[in-house]
């Protein structure tokens, strides 16, 4: 009997797709199955040099520099008739030109199950299946936002793993049969569902353990009105401390450090971090964007959210879900952010109510549940 071959694929365009794929890969390896071979790849590494270099740069330029135009494109391309008549044919031509190496890799690996956390790989593999090249492969799309875009939808996908019941309803409206949709949540690393203890972590992080703590994040690349938010929150008279994560933006990091040297409350400033789980666990509230992954990580850590500057498109849709669920506030005015933080920290009842609602929404074991489902999709014998 041969090994069950599982391919987990992402595209390195936004950290959420990458982290979700790695969480699934980790959950599969944690099962310690000797009869399973797992490969995790970045589909862009199997594309043309032009696409590999331009794809993430184009995405980051659009969402960081001209987010309104990005949002317009997002919603236009999600118009079903326009997508089917114009965008889908163009995507297929684009992928055939740029993704031939990916097709060859998949043909050589012959996965029994192929899991995609980004729509680039799912569209390429669905096209292969239509051509009879993946007759024995189950295709699973793991959606890393709370609502769907037309780019994810294809009749040759076998299963969709989605975040919530609302996500499923949104997908069934697009014609996908309900039995093909599994509600597991967005997969996050298992460390977000574990607890190390606030006091232990504060000691490790060298921060006070007796201050209410506000975590301010800016995405992996340090975007948004971070300095303005820091200035507003540092000026609040209420006793609290700030943890500010500036991402891969050294200029922002240096500027925030300089402007907070004389702050009358503790302020810890970080560049890009790989211990976000620890920073979330010691915090009482987080000020953040509404990326699918970062929001899900915060939910796994029972952390109420205040969303600012959500990117039009996927983040705006995520934001609406989070606010509707009662686990987040959306405040576009920076002064409103300060006021709502004071209200949350001053009202133990408000904080407790938000945490109760988080408990109804979060799915911290999603990566393990997706991994179990993937194995169930594998053939019993090759």
pTM: 0.92
Judge contact between 325 and 354, C-beta under 8 A: no
Residue 381 has pLDDT above 80, yes or no: no
Distance CA(239)–CA(5), nearest Å, equals 54
Q: Please name which of 198, 200, 193 lies closest in space to residue 212, comparing C-alpha atoms.
A: 198
pLDDT at 277: 94
- pLDDT more than 70, % of the chain: 98
Q: Please name which of 194, 126, 192 lies closest in space to residue 160, comparing C-alpha atoms.
A: 126
Distance CA(19)–CA(29), nearest Å, equals 15
Q: Please name which of 79, 119, 116, 71 lies closest in space to residue 95, comparing C-alpha atoms.
A: 119
Residue 14 has pLDDT above 80, yes or no: no
Residue 140 three-state SS? strand
pLDDT at 226: 84
Backbone angle region of 132, left / alpha / beta, with phi > 0 → left and psi within -120 to 50 → alpha: left
pLDDT in tens, 152-196: 999 999 999 999 999 999 899 988 999 999 999 999 999 998 888
pLDDT at 259: 87
pLDDT at 253: 87
Calculate the average pLDDT of the chain. Answer: 91
Residue 8 has pLDDT above 90, yes or no: yes
pLDDT at 333: 86
Residue 96 has pLDDT above 70, yes or no: yes
How many other CB atoms are found less than 10 A from the CB of residue 286? 26
Structure tokens at 239: 């006793």
Residue 222 has pLDDT above 70, yes or no: no
Residue 10 three-state SS? strand
Alpha helix ranges (H) inside 49-176: 49-65, 67-77, 80-82, 88-98, 100-109, 119-130, 165-172
**DSSP output for 165-219:** HHHHHHHHTTT--GGGEEE------GGGG----HHHHHHHHT--SSS-EEEEE-T
Task: Give CB contacts under 8 A, 24+ apart, made by 57-66.
Answer: 59/13, 59/14, 60/221, 63/223, 63/311, 64/221, 64/223
pLDDT at 221: 59
Residue 364 three-state SS? coil
Domains and CATH numbers, the chain: 4-188+365-377 (3.40.50.2000), 191-361 (3.40.50.2000)
pLDDT in tens, 258-298: 888 888 889 999 988 889 999 999 999 999 988 889 999 99
Rounded alpha-carbon distances, angstroms, from residue 39 to 42, 106, 116, 331? 10, 11, 12, 41
61 compared with 54, residue with greater pLDDT: 54
The order of strands in the sheet holding 113-116 is 36-42, 4-10, 113-116, 138-142, 159-162, 181-183
For residue 320, what pLDDT band results from cuts at 50, 70 and 90? Answer: very high
Residue 43 has pLDDT above 60, yes or no: yes
Structure tokens at 240: 């609290």
pLDDT at 382: 52
pLDDT at 1: 53
pLDDT in tens, 331-376: 988 889 989 999 988 877 888 899 999 999 999 899 999 999 999 9
- Phi/psi of residue 195, each to 5°? -125, 125
């Amino acid at each position: 009997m041969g090994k069950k071959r599982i391919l987990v694929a992402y595209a390195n365009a936004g950290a959420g797709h990458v982290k979700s794929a790695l969480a699934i890969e980790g959950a599969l390896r944690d099962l310690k199955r000797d009869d399973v071979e797992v490969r995790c790849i970045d589909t862009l590494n199997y594309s043309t040099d032009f696409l590999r270099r331009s794809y993430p740069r184009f995405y980051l330029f659009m969402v960081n520099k001209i987010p309104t135009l990005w949002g317009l494109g997002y919603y236009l391309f999600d118009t079903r008739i326009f997508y089917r008549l114009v965008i889908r044919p163009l995507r297929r031509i684009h992928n055939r030109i740029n993704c031939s190496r990916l097709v060859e890799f998949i043909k050589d690996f012959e996965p029994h199950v192929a899991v995609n956390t980004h729509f680039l790989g799912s569209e390429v593999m669905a096209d292969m299946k239509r051509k009879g090249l993946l007759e024995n492969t189950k295709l699973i799309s793991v959606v890393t936002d709370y609502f769907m875009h037309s780019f994810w939808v294809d009749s040759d996908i076998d299963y969709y793993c989605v975040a919530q019941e609302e996500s499923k309803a949104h997908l069934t409206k697009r014609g996908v049969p309900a039995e093909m949709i599994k509600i597991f949540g967005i997969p996050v690393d298992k460390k977000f569902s574990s607890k190390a203890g606030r006091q232990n972590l504060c000691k490790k992080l060298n921060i006070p353990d007796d201050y209410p703590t506000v975590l301010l994040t800016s995405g992996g690349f340090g975007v948004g009105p971070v300095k303005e938010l820091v200035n507003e929150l540092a000026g609040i008279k209420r006793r609290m401390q700030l943890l500010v994560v500036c991402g891969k933006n050294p200029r922002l990091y240096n500027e925030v450090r300089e402007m907070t040297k004389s702050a009358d409350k503790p302020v810890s400033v970080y560049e890009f971090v790989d211990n976000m789980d620890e920073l979330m666990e010691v915090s009482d509230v987080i000020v953040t964007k509404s990326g699918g992954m970062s929001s899900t990580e915060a939910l796994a850590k029972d952390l109420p959210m205040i969303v600012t500057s959500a990117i039009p498109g996927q983040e705006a849709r995520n934001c609406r879900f989070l606010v509707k669920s009662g686990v987040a506030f959306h405040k576009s005015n920076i002064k409103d952010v300060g006021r709502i933080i004071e209200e949350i920290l001053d009202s133990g009842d408000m904080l407790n109510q938000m945490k109760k609602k988080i408990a109804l929404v979060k799915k911290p074991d999603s990566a393990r549940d997706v991994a179990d489902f993937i194995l169930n999709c594998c053939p019993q014998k090759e």
